[in-house]
Amino acid sequence: MLHATRRWLGFIAIAAVLAAIATGGPASAQAQAGQASAFTPQQRAEIVQILRDALAHDPSILRDALDTMQAEDARRQEAATRAAIAEHRAALVDPADPVAGNLKGDVTIVEFFDTRCPYCRHLEPTMARFLEGDGKVKLVYKDLPILGPASVLGSRALLAAQRQGGYEKLREAIMASPPDVNMDAIRDLAIAAGLDWARMQRDMADPTIQARLDANTRLARELGIQGTPALVIGDTLIPGAVEVADLQKAVADARATAQN
């Protein structure tokens, strides 16, 4: 009984200390100073002794306290992400964006990607297999060129090709080509895809295309997206490349949520 009490007190004390540290910053420092001043020197000494005794008898409580904090942080982050997705739902399903799959699908997947991103390229066959197996999903592409000038060039080319109805065809070609594309490579791929290259060049320089890319960047920032690929399915953000089973589960969860 004494051991259990010591463990519980130690856990509470460590969790409180770690929580105070995790909040960080000048404001929390002032709050911590105020909390510290609420204890007498004797009480502070007793708290420190509780921490020392607890760790000496059962060091695992530190791990438990850290796990608790991490789980709470994850819950807060998930809630914040869900709120951000709800707030920016209209921007996520912008009708101007290129789409694939079933245009009238009951679930929409929004994919933020960079043409040079190796993980985005790894996701390509996975997403294709998934869409083949589920004919009720709409896929929205959000070009997010974050890996340098070649990425920007690829995204500009794709959005210019969209104006000729050639987004998907050119995207497939670019994603299957070496990642460091240049203008000559884009030209060859566009011509091979049957696109009007002179028109594409003009459209690539159109400021409205850069405005769309800027809007995608702002949206990604608002959603807390830190890399590509990133998928928004229902009210869930999934970072990184995933497998077919992961997509199936996320889509099933989104359908279940929509029905409730």
Residues 174 and 199 in one domain: yes
Residues 36 and 160 in one domain: no
pLDDT in tens, 142-154: 999 999 999 999 9
Number of H helices, E strands in the chain: 12, 5
Number of domains making up the chain: 2
Asked if the structure places residue 126 within a domain, the reply is yes
Q: What is the pTM of this model?
A: 0.74
Residues 60 and 121 in one domain: no
Query: Would you place residue 134 in the very low, low, confident or very high pLDDT band (cuts 50, 70, 90)?
Result: very high
- Residue located via tokens 């091979």: 192
* 10 and 56 Cβ atoms separated by less than 8 Å: no
Residues 19 and 62 in one domain: yes
Asked if the structure places residue 80 within a domain, the reply is no
Residues 12 and 98 in one domain: no
Tell me the DSSP string of 97-159. S-EEE-TT-SEEEEEEE-TT-HHHHHHHHHHHHHHHH-TTEEEEEEE---S-HHHHHHHHHHH
The DSSP secondary-structure symbol of 233 reads E
**Could you give the C-alpha distances from 89 to 30, 81, 97, 154, 223, in angstroms and in order?**
38, 12, 13, 26, 11
Residues 94 and 19 in one domain: no
Asked if the structure places residue 82 within a domain, the reply is no
Residues 30 and 109 in one domain: no
pLDDT at residue 74, rounded to an integer: 67
Query: Would you place residue 131 in the very low, low, confident or very high pLDDT band (cuts 50, 70, 90)?
Result: very high
112: domain CATH number is: 3.40.30.10
pLDDT at residue 191, rounded to an integer: 97
Average pLDDT over residues 191-199: 97
* 157 and 204 Cβ atoms separated by less than 8 Å: yes
Residues 115 and 214 in one domain: yes
The residue ranking higher by pLDDT, 94 or 76, is: 94
All residues at 6 or more sequence positions from 222 whose CB lies less than 8 Å from its CB, including other chains? 84, 87, 88
Asked if the structure places residue 84 within a domain, the reply is no
Residues 100 and 168 in one domain: yes
Is the pLDDT at 37 greater than 60? The verdict is no
Asked if the structure places residue 26 within a domain, the reply is yes
pLDDT at residue 182, rounded to an integer: 95
Asked if the structure places residue 194 within a domain, the reply is yes
Query: Would you place residue 41 in the very low, low, confident or very high pLDDT band (cuts 50, 70, 90)?
Result: confident
For 8, the domain range is: 2-75
pLDDT in tens, 159-170: 999 999 999 999
The DSSP secondary-structure symbol of 227 reads S
In this structure, the number of other CB atoms found within 10 A of the CB of residue 237 comes to 20
Is the pLDDT at 247 greater than 60? The verdict is yes
d(CA 98, CA 259): 27
Residues 98 and 49 in one domain: no
Residues 151 and 255 in one domain: yes
How large a percentage of the chain has pLDDT more than 70?
84
Average pLDDT over residues 54-82: 75
Tokens of 179: 């990642």
Give the domain-ending residue among 41, 75, 109: 75
Asked if the structure places residue 167 within a domain, the reply is yes
Average pLDDT over residues 161-189: 96
Residues 121 and 35 in one domain: no
All residues at 6 or more sequence positions from 61 whose CB lies less than 8 Å from its CB, including other chains? 7, 10, 11, 14, 54, 55
Query: Would you place residue 14 in the very low, low, confident or very high pLDDT band (cuts 50, 70, 90)?
Result: low
The residue ranking higher by pLDDT, 125 or 258, is: 125
